[in-house]
Amino acid sequence: MIRIGWMVVLFTGLLCAQLREEALAAGLKPIPKTQQALIDYVERPGNPITPQKIELGKMLYFDPRLSKSGIISCNTCHNLGLGGVDGIPAAIGHKWRANPQGLNSPTVFNAVFHIAQFHDGRSPHLADQASGPIQNPVEMAISREELEARIGSIPEYVARFEESFRGEKPAVTLENIAKAIEAFEATLVTPGRFDRFLHGDVRALSGAEKEGLEVFIRKDCTRCHNGMGIGGGSVERFPEVGQFPYAHIGSFKGDRDGRTRVPTLRNLTLTAPYFHNGSVWSIEEAVRIMAEAQLGVHISRQEVDQISTFLRALEGEIPRVVIPMLPTSTASTPRPDPLE
């Protein structure tokens, strides 16, 4: 009996090691183990990531003075306490305007692993992305001039920008605001049990989660959901039909070929409702729809459950963020007026 027991353990171990090989072969990648390795991976040539810039970016991320009204910050729609999202179908912005394209706020966690930002993938990186909502009339609605005047009137901010962007005059520009936010957001990654599994600790996932991973690979979900983001590496077409609740709605039509950026599947447990239009609240329903609409396969209820069990294991460790104390406005700071 003891001998049989050991054989089972050995056999299971081999199977697990094989599953890990399959996952890596399917393109799934773990988040690097150290912050330095992460930064080496995500840092862009145009925006070196320094501790000072990360801290400045964190302040800006939480500062509602980046909006015309003075009451909407990046964290309003990409709430770090709520999985990096707002938990509603479509974003609400300046003067309570709903997103006219009916678009759901994507999570900021692990967004750095996306090859392109926004649902239509029109933005090449997070710094470019960050400058969008700041100026968008239905989001934060501030002009470049007003924003630069406001932040540039606050001595502590000016000093921090001059430290993070040495030699640049002026240092407080919309581009540098966005770059600092990018540096902070690059740290918002959430390694978890699945990463430990991919790094070689095959016991980091439960038996049921490993079964789910196996189905996930076998059903070819990894065709789009791969890489370090487990999604985010491509833009894909999907059927423009009313039978699926995630069809394009409002004026959103995807990119010029009608494609939508594949999102990360990490922390799916925290980021409902799903799809670019926030139309689906259940992981199981989202899995069923994707299999049918994207892969053109029917999967059984059991398989839906198995895949969903695996997806729930993608919840990672959310970074611990201390609320930054924001520098105070001065007599020369243009005053926000939410009703203007």
Binding residues for its own copies, per CB under 8 A?
A: 62-65, 69-71, 76-77, 79-83, 86-88, 92, 95-96, 98, 269-270, 272, 281-282, 318, 320-326, 328-329, 331, 335-339
Please give the radius of gyration of the chain, using alpha carbons only, rounded to the nearest integer. 22
Beta carbon nearer to its own copies, 98 or 293: 98
Beta carbon nearer to its own copies, 269 or 300: 269
CA pair distance 2, 4, nearest whole angstrom:
5
- Residue 320 Cβ vs its own copies, minimum distance, rounded to whole Å: 6
* Cα 316 to chain centroid, rounded: 12
Beta carbon nearer to its own copies, 224 or 289: 289
209, 238 in Cβ contact below 8 A? Answer: no
Catalytic annotation, pick one of 21, 139, 185, 340:
139
Listing DSSP states for 40-86 in one string gives HHH-BTTB---HHHHHHHHHHHH-GGGSSSS---HHHHSBGGGTTB-
- Residue 77 Cβ vs its own copies, minimum distance, rounded to whole Å: 8
- Residue 137 Cβ vs its own copies, minimum distance, rounded to whole Å: 14
- Residue 76 Cβ vs its own copies, minimum distance, rounded to whole Å: 7
Categorise residue 200: left if φ over 0, alpha if ψ from -120 to 50, beta otherwise: left
AA letter at 279 = S
Residue 265: how many CB atoms within 10 A of its CB? 23
- Residue 62 Cβ vs its own copies, minimum distance, rounded to whole Å: 5
For helices 174-185 and 126-135, the axis angle rounded to 10 degrees is 120
Beta carbon nearer to its own copies, 92 or 158: 92
- Residue 139 annotated among the catalytic residues of the structure: yes
Among 208, 57, 182, residue whose Cα is nearest residue 128:
182
> What contacts 56, CB < 8 A, 6 or more positions away?
157, 160, 161, 164, 180, 183, 184
Beta carbon nearer to its own copies, 205 or 268: 268
Would you please indicate which residues are annotated as catalytic (active-site) residues?
A: 139
